[in-house]
Amino acid sequence: MHFILYGTLPALDVFNRPKWAYGLRIHDACERRGRFDAGEFVEQFGDEGAKDGYCLYKVGCKGPYTFNNCSKQKFNQGTSWPVQAGHGCMGCSEPDFWDKMGIVHEPLGDRLYHTAFGGLGSDATADKIGVGILTVTAIGIAAHAAISLIKNPKE
């Protein structure tokens, strides 16, 4: 349909899936993401955190490892999606879903997957980029301070 309408093929991810649907992780567009960032997690289904809309990662949500647009498209004619209904993402759109995502109601913990680029997953890549930027910034600040001292020595 994209080719018929626009005369080009849509942008694709490394698994040849259209980026408009698979460009972001479930985690990136999740309405519970703020709870994740704040460290507020459901410890078991039915607890107070579950009632208050806390993050479902500790009860098995695979959103940080799954690329899809479920939170935008939703299911049942746009009514809801699993995380909104209180169940974590199962990661069903990922390659080798049954083998890699393991048991549905257990978190993956610190497990990182090898990506098509040979890395250890998007989280590891983001960490490396962050450390690189921090290092360059620190070097820049130190160089600026040294140059300022040389140009304007205190008397």
The phi, psi pair for 147, rounded to 5°, reads -65, -40
Sign of CA dihedral 113, 114, 116, 122: positive
Q: Count up the domains in the chain and report the number.
A: 2
Residues 94 and 25 in one domain: yes
pLDDT at position 129 is 78
pLDDT at position 77 is 86
pLDDT at position 34 is 92
pLDDT at position 110 is 52
Burial class (CB in 10 A: 0-12, 13-18, 19+), 131: exposed
> CA separation (Å) from 19 to 14, 81, 103, 111?
9, 20, 27, 24
> Whole-angstrom Cα distance, residue 150 to residue 144?
10
Q: Residue 136 region, left (φ>0) first, then alpha (ψ -120 to 50), else beta?
A: alpha
Residues 82 and 11 in one domain: yes
Residues 44 and 69 in one domain: yes
Residues 14 and 59 in one domain: yes
pLDDT at position 142 is 95
Residues of the chain with pLDDT under 50: 114-120
Residues 124 and 57 in one domain: no
Residues 41 and 73 in one domain: yes
Q: Return the CATH number at 79.
A: 4.10.480.10
Residues 135 and 81 in one domain: no
Quick: pLDDT tens for 107-137.
Answer: 766 555 544 444 445 555 666 778 889 999 9
Domain interval for residue 80? 2-111
Residues 105 and 122 in one domain: no
Residues 78 and 152 in one domain: no
